[in-house]
Structure 1
Amino acid sequence: MENLWGNLNDVDDFKVAKSILDEQALFIAKMTKNTLYAEVLIDNSYKDEILDTHDKNFFYKLVIRSEYLNHYEFKVLTIKHDLLQYPLEISLPNEIGEDLSKNPDVSDKLTYSPIVDYCLVANSEQEFIDYLGHILKSKNLMQIIKALYKMSDF
């Protein structure tokens, strides 16, 4: 019998959203000489509040931590997606969402909800990467990173 599965030769070209965040998380440690670091973690905080038990979504959060400020973390964003990856929801805290609301490249795509603060929806890997670039370069996030870095300077 012939192979009915089709061709999976391009499987290595496919990146899941968590991998993209993991790659970006590595840069913050290099940029701050290991004073700050970022982690991508499963975010279970949404399950109890928003989801019913039948929801099959994955939630990950990107956090920045300091080597010298015990247990403090700043949550940069949370992503939500199903197995297909896209569309993917990016939830942002007020500090970053308010900053992006002034950015003409993303302001018209940004929504606000009192439950999840600010939200963007990426419909493709490239759109996710584009949004992520705006988020990570946002003025307020840069200020937060600088403050964490200086507060960790003992």
Structure 2
Amino acid sequence: MENLWPTSFEEINVKPAKQILDEQAVLLPKLTGDMVYAQIAKIDAEMEVFEDHYNDFCYTFVLKGKFLNNYSFKVFNFSHEIALYPIKIHLDELLAKELNTNISIEIRNEAHFISILGKTLNSNRIKDVVGSIIKLSSSTSSPMQWKRP
């Protein structure tokens, strides 16, 4: 039988959304004196259904405080099939409102993702959240001083 496969395969020349977010996550602690950091974590199957993500690759992008062990702020969830784009994003409700967009949006390509991500990270909502995490982390990191009445 003759070979029905193409004569060659080439790697797709775009950055996956997760890689772009990983690069941005490295920058945040430097900007906040190591008080706030970002994590990109795989979403479990139960949460995929709840968040309406039925794709092969599902992640959440959250902000956390150095001394706020049990708190994380979900910026958005995102998912895609084996093809790197389009990706489906489910934004924080107040963030979507500020950006004047739907909570769920489809991102067509890498340039579109970078554009949306830039607007997201520079939004007042994210500035407020990061500022609050810094304040709460710094107040929790130092021991409380109690004065007797």
TM-score, with structure 1 as normaliser = 0.78
Alignment of 1:15-54 (within 5 A): 15-44=15-44, 45-49=46-50
Q: For the structure 1 residues 51 and 79, does the alpha-carbon distance in structure 2 shift closer, same or farther, using more than 3 Å as the test?
A: closer
- Is 1:138–2:129 an aligned residue pair? no
* 32 and 5 in structure 1: CA distance in 2 versus 1, 3 angstrom threshold: farther
Is the Cα contact below 8 Å between 2:57 and 2:80 reproduced in 1?
Answer: yes
**SS of residue paired to 2:82:** coil
| Displacement of 1:82 | 0.6
CA distance in 1 between counterparts of 2:76 and 2:137 reads 22
Deviation of 1:56 (Å): 4.0
What residue number does 2:76 align with? 77
Per the alignment, in what secondary structure is the counterpart of residue 68 of structure 2? coil
Gaps of at least 5 residues in structure 2 are: 143-149
Structure number, greater radius of gyration: 2
8 Å CA contact 1:95–1:141 kept in 2: the answer is: no
Residues 56 and 88 of structure 1: is their aligned pair in 2 closer, same or farther, counting only changes over 3 Å?
A: closer
Q: 1:134 to 1:50 in 2, by over 3 A?
A: closer
Distance in 1 between residues matched to 2:21 and 2:67, nearest whole Å: 23
Partner residue, 2:146: none
Q: Report the residue type matching 1:122 in the other structure.
A: I
Cα deviations across residues 88-111 of structure 1 (Å, max 9, x unaligned)? 11111112111111xxxxxxxx22
1:50 Cα deviation from its structure 2 partner? 5.7
Could you tell me whether the CA contact under 8 Å between 2:90 and 2:104 is conserved in 1?
yes
SS in 1 for 2:18: helix
Q: Do residues 123 (structure 1) and 108 (structure 2) align?
A: yes
RMSD, matched Cα: 2.3
Query: Which residue number in structure 1 is paired with residue 8 of structure 2?
Result: 6
Mapped partners of 2:52, 2:91: distance in 1: 18
Cα gap change, 1:152/1:81 in structure 2, threshold over 3 Å: closer, same or farther?
same
Aligned position for 1:68? 67
Task: Could you tell me which runs of 5 or more consecutive residues in structure 1 were left unpaired when the two chains were aligned.
Answer: 102-109, 112-117
- After TM superposition, the score normalised by the length of structure 2 is 0.80
> Deviation at 1:84?
0.6
